[in-house]
Structure 1
Amino acid sequence: MSDKDNERYRALMSKIGMHVEGVGVTGGVDPKLICTLKEASSLLRRLMVSEGDAFGLSALDESGNACLEYNAPGKMLLKLLKLHIPNDSRFNALYKFEPYIEMAMDHIKEFGLYPLLLTWWMQRSASEAQMLMKHFNDYVHKIRQEVKSARFLSRLNGYQRSSNKNYKELTEYVDALFEHHARLLVLRVDLSYSKENSKTTQAQAKRDRERLFENARSNKLFGDMLGYIWKLEHGPEKGFHYHMMFFFDGSKVREDVNLAKRIGEYWKSVVTKGRGLYYNCNASKWRYEKRGIGMVNYGDDLLREGLQAAVFYLTKTDLYMKLQTVGRGMGKGNRPSGKGSRGRPRAI
C-alpha cells in the first residue's frame, strides 16, 4: 500500500472512530468490512507483483496420487479466498469495489475458486492434481496480466481520481467562502432516517435533500447561510443518510449547537414529516481530536486545519468501495462570485 493509500486508510478509520470533528455516524460504515477489504487489497497488490506459479505438486505416493503444494503466491491466494468479502446481488447493487478487488472477485467467480478452498489440499490422482494445479495457476496468471492492461489502468486511475477531484473542488469552495467572510460558523449535521424508515430508497432520500435546500431559499432558519456541502452514504443499519456541512455568516450568527439542532429538527419534522433522525455533531465538539466546526476565523490556522481535515475525510473515504448513486453522491452550494476582500481586517 502506497503512502497516499495509507493516508486515505487512516482517514477512513478515523471517520469510523469519530476522531475527526463532526465526521462519523453510528451505523454508517462497517469497520470489520473495511479492514477485510484493506487486507484483500494488500494481498492482491502483492500477488500481482509476485513471480512464479501459485501451486506445484507433491511427489507421487505409492498409489500414484499427489496433492497440491502452495508456493508464496499460492499462500496469498488462499488467504484471499478465506476472507469474507460480500458478493451477493443486494450488496453489489449498492456498492462498487475498488478495481483490484472487483477484478479479483469477478475472476474468482469465473474460476469457481471458493468451493475448491475446502478440497484443494486433498490427495487425488496425478492427472486430477495436475488439472487443479493448472486451474489455480491460470487464475493467478490471468489477474497478473489484466492489471497490466490499458483498460484496467484506466479504471484504476478513474476510481482514484474522482475522490481527489472532489477534495480539490471542496477545499477551493471553502477557501472561496473565507475570501468573502472573516468568520464562518460551521455546522456538521448527519441527516438520516428512523429505524422504521431505514429502508428509505435512494430516490426518496434525494427528494428529501432537494426539498431541504429548496425550502432553505425562503426559510428564515437559513437566512444567514452562505454555503453547504453534502455527501450521501449508506449503512447496513441506518440505510441511506447524509453527512451535511453548513456554512453560516459568523458575523451574524453565533450559537452553532442550537442552530444545528434547529436544522436537525426541521429535517425531522418538516422535510421528512417524522421519518427522519439527525445527529448534531456540534453538540459534542469536545469529543474530537481536531476542531473543524463551530466558529472558525479566517486567520485561525488550527481551526482552518481541522476544517480542512473534516472535508478531507468526507471525500477520501471511498478507498475500497464506493456507494453506487443515481446521479451525484456529493455536492456543494454555489461558489461566491467576484473577488473577495482579502485586504480588510479579519475579525478576532
Structure 2
Amino acid sequence: MKFDDELEFYFEHGLCMYADVNGETVEQYTDQALLASDIRSIVDVMARLKAFQKGLFLPRTTAMSKQKKVRALEQDCLSLLKVDFGMIKEVYPYHEFNPLLRVFMKYFAGVELRSNVYKVELVLADELSLLHDLTEKVKQEIRGVEFQDTLKSFCRSANKNYKSLVEYIDALFVCYARMLVIRVDFTYRSQYCVPRGETTISHAEARMHRIALLKYLRSSKSLGVVGYAWKLEYGLDKSYHYHCLLFLNGVYHREDIVIAKLLGEYWVETVTEGKGIYYNCNKNKAAFEKKGILGVGMISHHQTGLRAGLKLVAAYLTKPDYFIRMIAPDGGRCFGKGGKVFPKQTKRGRPRKQPDVLPSE
C-alpha cells in the first residue's frame, strides 16, 4: 500500500460530520466528505494529465485512443465532469483551492455531455473534439513556468507544517521514551453549525474556545499533556471545528480512551458551556490497526511501525492544505503546536531499545 493510499484511508474516516443525537456524538457521512474526495481526485487527475505526453479524446479510429493508459485517464477526466463545482464553493467559503483544481474548473466547469452518460465509448465525435481541445489547453497552462511557481507556493505551507510537526514529534520522543498519543475532534452541536444562523459559532468565538482549551492543557490542572498540535477547519455541515493531536508521558498514563473522554467532556462542559461536542478518535483504533497504519495509543520510541502510523496522523492534520487551504476570516492561524521541546539533561535510567526493523515489502 502506497503512502497516498494509506493517507486516503485516514481521510475517509475523518471527513464524516459529527452530530449530536440524543446526547451522543455520532458519525454522519455527508456531501462535504464526498466533495473533499472529489477535490483530491481532481488534483490527482490533473497531476497525471500534466505528466501525460500523449493526446486524449482523439477520434476512436486512431490506435492511440485504444491504449489502456489513454482510456483510463480519459475515463477519469470524464468522471470529474459530474462534480458539482458550485457546491464546492458553497461548502468551502473560507478556503483557497489548489491551483490544479482552479485550472480544471476554469476549463471544464459547465461542460455537459448530451448523452449524459460519462463513458468514453459513448462520447460523440464533436464532444471528443471539444474535450481534446480543453485537455490540450489545460496541459499547456499547467506546464508553464508561472503556473509551476504558483503551485509550489501554494503547497509550501502544507509541506512546511507537516515537516515541523514531524520534527516536533521526534523531539518529544527524545524526551519521552514512551508516549500516549490521543486524537480528539472538538466541534459544536448541530444548532450552532447552521450557516449564517443567529446561533452560529463565529470564528472569534471558536478562537476563544481554542485559547481556553490550550490554556487548560498547559496548566497543572490538566491530565499531564506534554505536547499538542491543532488544526482549525470549516465546513458547511460542521462549521468551525478543531482536529487535535495530544501527547502524554506514557510512564504515567495508559488509558487513552478514558483520557480522551475526560478532555472531551471538559471541552463540552467548561470551555463551550454546553455548545460543544467531541469525537474520541482513539475509540476507532481497531480499523487502523487492521490496516497496519495505527498511529495513536501507547507508542514507544523504538516502535517503528507505530511511529510511521503517527506520521500519517501528522499528514492527516496538515496535508489537506495541499488540496484546500482554509483562510481564517481575521487572517489568524489555522494550525499550531506546542512550544520548543528541550531534551532532559539527565542520562539516568535503563538504556533505550533499538528501533524495530520493519519487514521488507
Give the TM-score range, shorter chain: 0.7 to 0.9
Greater mean alpha carbon deviation, residues 191-200 or residues 330-339? 330-339
What whole-Å deviation, never above 9, does each CA across 1:171-222 have from its counterpart, x for those lacking one? 1111111211232222221111111112423332222111211233445124
Alignment: residue pair count: 314
Q: Give the Å deviation of 1:55.
A: 7.4
SS in 2 for 1:185: strand
Q: Does 1:258 align with 2:249?
A: no
Greater mean alpha carbon deviation, residues 160-169 or residues 46-55? 46-55
User: Aligned partners of 1:53 and 1:101: how far apart in 2?
Assistant: 19
The alpha-carbon distance between structure 1 residues 311 and 43, as it changes in their structure 2 partners (threshold 3 A), is: closer
Q: Give the Å deviation of 1:343.
A: 7.2
User: Aligned partners of 2:303 and 2:49: how far apart in 1?
Assistant: 46
Greater mean alpha carbon deviation, residues 302-311 or residues 38-47? 38-47
Counterpart for residue 176 of structure 2: 181
Q: Give the Å deviation of 1:28.
A: 7.9
1:65-214 maps to which residues of 2 (within 5 A)?
Answer: 79=78, 82-88=81-87, 89-108=89-108, 113-114=110-111, 117-118=113-114, 139-199=134-194, 200-214=201-215
Counterpart for residue 268 of structure 2: 268
User: Aligned partners of 2:295 and 2:259: how far apart in 1?
Assistant: 16
Greater mean alpha carbon deviation, residues 100-109 or residues 167-176? 100-109
Residue type matched to 1:197 in 2? Y
The alpha-carbon distance between structure 1 residues 162 and 260, as it changes in their structure 2 partners (threshold 3 A), is: same
Counterpart for residue 221 of structure 1: 222
Quick check: 2:7–2:316 contact (8 Å CA) kept in 1? yes
Relative to the length of structure 1, the TM-score reads 0.73
Q: Does 1:234 align with 2:234?
A: yes
User: Aligned partners of 1:53 and 1:285: how far apart in 2?
Assistant: 43
Quick check: 1:43–1:80 contact (8 Å CA) kept in 2? no
User: Aligned partners of 2:131 and 2:146: how far apart in 1?
Assistant: 24
User: Aligned partners of 1:236 and 1:93: how far apart in 2?
Assistant: 8
User: Aligned partners of 2:190 and 2:254: how far apart in 1?
Assistant: 33
Residue type matched to 2:255 in 1? E
What whole-Å deviation, never above 9, does each CA across 1:127-172 have from its counterpart, x for those lacking one? xx99x99987764454333212222101211233332222221111
The alpha-carbon distance between structure 1 residues 210 and 46, as it changes in their structure 2 partners (threshold 3 A), is: same
Residue type matched to 2:164 in 1? E
SS in 2 for 1:241: strand
User: Aligned partners of 1:52 and 1:179: how far apart in 2?
Assistant: 52
SS in 1 for 2:27: coil
User: Aligned partners of 2:80 and 2:311: how far apart in 1?
Assistant: 38
User: Aligned partners of 2:337 and 2:254: how far apart in 1?
Assistant: 22
Quick check: 1:188–1:281 contact (8 Å CA) kept in 2? yes
Quick check: 1:234–1:323 contact (8 Å CA) kept in 2? yes
Quick check: 2:56–2:74 contact (8 Å CA) kept in 1? no
Relative to the length of structure 2, the TM-score reads 0.71
Greater mean alpha carbon deviation, residues 78-87 or residues 146-155? 78-87
SS in 2 for 1:328: coil
Q: How large is the RMSD of aligned CA atoms in angstroms?
A: 3.9
Counterpart for residue 18 of structure 2: none
* % identical equivalent positions: 31
The alpha-carbon distance between structure 1 residues 90 and 342, as it changes in their structure 2 partners (threshold 3 A), is: farther
Unaligned runs of 5+ in 2: 15-25, 60-64, 117-124, 195-200, 354-361
Q: Give the Å deviation of 1:265.
A: 0.6
1:261-300 maps to which residues of 2 (within 5 A)?
Answer: 261-289=261-289, 290-300=293-303
Residue type matched to 1:227 in 2? G
Counterpart for residue 13 of structure 1: 9
Counterpart for residue 312 of structure 1: 315
Counterpart for residue 333 of structure 1: 338
Q: Higher relative CO (CA 8 A, sep ≥ 6), structure 1 or 2?
A: 1
The alpha-carbon distance between structure 1 residues 146 and 286, as it changes in their structure 2 partners (threshold 3 A), is: closer
User: Aligned partners of 1:102 and 1:234: how far apart in 2?
Assistant: 20
Counterpart for residue 60 of structure 1: none
The alpha-carbon distance between structure 1 residues 8 and 341, as it changes in their structure 2 partners (threshold 3 A), is: farther
The alpha-carbon distance between structure 1 residues 248 and 287, as it changes in their structure 2 partners (threshold 3 A), is: same
Residue type matched to 1:210 in 2? I
User: Aligned partners of 1:142 and 1:78: how far apart in 2?
Assistant: 14
Residue type matched to 1:324 in 2? I
SS in 2 for 1:316: helix
Unaligned runs of 5+ in 1: 19-24, 57-69, 121-128
SS in 1 for 2:311: helix
Q: Give the Å deviation of 1:342.
A: 6.5
Greater mean alpha carbon deviation, residues 237-246 or residues 302-311? 302-311
SS in 1 for 2:186: strand
User: Aligned partners of 2:257 and 2:160: how far apart in 1?
Assistant: 31
The alpha-carbon distance between structure 1 residues 136 and 302, as it changes in their structure 2 partners (threshold 3 A), is: closer
